[in-house]
Amino acid sequence: MAIETTLILIKPDGVQRGVCGDIIGRFERKGMQIAGMKLMHVTPELAERHYGEHKGRPFYDGLVKFITASPIVAMAIRGPRAVSVCRTLMGKTFGHEAEPGTIRGDFSCSKGFNLVHGSDSAESAVRELGIFFGDGEILDYETCNAGWVYNEEDLG
């Protein structure tokens, strides 16, 4: 298992509710590294590229309206098993079903307003990072994490 980089979005409800710091802190405390981060608006075109797999489902129009309504924070989060580690931190899709201790479990009681998006596979991560980040916007840099948060065994 090599180091992975995954796409995490703080959705408009997280920015509006002023809990970006709390959410970002969850990933940092877990030992994940912030490799890219920006506050941005999602255009309808970008929303369609990102959520295209859900087109035609009953919640799709509401989802696009929600994600385009107010700025989001887009992050490239890096670490060992980052895709699954971040999904676990987020909790189940619906806030009312998500376990306490997870981001959605602690901050959301809603189906749609569930604060965060996280790529669901390594392949999705590559595709989704390409939608939200351009050349040079995801950085490579050293942190102390490599020595004190995980070791060779965790990368094996």
Phi, psi of 83 (to 5 degrees): -60, -55
User: Can residue 48 be called a binding residue for ligand IDP (CB under 6 A)?
Assistant: no
Task: Specify whether 41 is catalytic.
Answer: no
Residue with Cβ nearer ligand IDP (105 or 112):
112
CB 68 within 8 A of CB 47: yes
Stretch that binds ligand IDP, among 38-46, 95-103, 106-114, 143-151 (CB under 6 A): 106-114
* Residue 101, phi-psi category: left (phi > 0), alpha (psi -120 to 50), beta (remainder): left
Find the binding residues for ligand IDP in span 53-82 (CB under 6 A). 59, 63
CB 35 within 8 A of CB 5: yes
Residue with Cβ nearer Mg ion (68 or 145):
68
Q: Measuring CA to CA, which residue among 70, 9, 68, 16 is closest to residue 42?
A: 68
Give the one entry of Mg ion, ligand IDP, none that residue 111 binds, where binding means its C-beta sits below a cut-off of 5 to 8 angstroms depending on kind: ligand IDP
Instruction: Count, in order, helices (H) and strands (E) of the chain.
Output: 9, 4
Candidate list 41, 50, 54, 117, residue with the active-site label? 117
Q: Out of 103, 114, 125, 128, which residue is the one contacting ligand IDP (CB under 6 A)?
A: 114
User: Can residue 112 be called a binding residue for ligand IDP (CB under 6 A)?
Assistant: yes
Residue span 115-154 as binding mask against Mg ion, x where in contact by CB under 5 A, dash where not: -----x----------------------------------
Distances from the Cα of 141 to the Cα of 35, 84, 110, 138, angstroms: 8, 22, 37, 10
Active site residues: 117
